[in-house]
Amino acid sequence: MITKTAAILGGMGGFILAFAIFHLVNAIWLLPAARNEARDLYIAEQAVTDRKAELERKGDDATLQTLTDYDLCVAGLRGNRMQIDPCDQLRGAGKE
């Protein structure tokens, strides 16, 4: 007959064996697949972000190319919360 000690040792041995098998499966199969999936997801997200930034930059470039020197100066100084008085000398520069 099985004694209490043998049952406890068998249960602990089974638990340790199951833990070791799960750890082995996890380390060999599940974790590398998760890393690859996460890497692919990160690359895809980065590509989408880069594309959005590129489209926004193209839109900004198109807008900036239509501005006069005076308007560019005013926009730059106002963006930095500075006085726009130095831009007054550019007001008539494009008409010469």
Indicate whether 10 belongs to any domain.
no
Indicate whether 17 belongs to any domain.
no
pLDDT digits (tens, 9 = 90+) for 36-52: 888 888 889 898 999 89
Residues of the chain below pLDDT 50: 94, 96
Indicate whether 64 belongs to any domain.
yes
Q: How far is CA 37 from CA 30, 42, 43, 65, in A?
A: 11, 9, 10, 42
User: What total number of domains does the chain contain?
Assistant: 1
Whole-angstrom Cα distance, residue 87 to residue 72? 9
Indicate whether 60 belongs to any domain.
yes
Indicate whether 81 belongs to any domain.
yes
**pTM given for the model:** 0.45
Indicate whether 52 belongs to any domain.
yes
Q: Which domain holds residue 46?
A: 28-95
Residue with tokens 């100084």: 77
Whole-angstrom Cα distance, residue 94 to residue 96? 6
Q: What is the pLDDT at residue 14?
A: 94
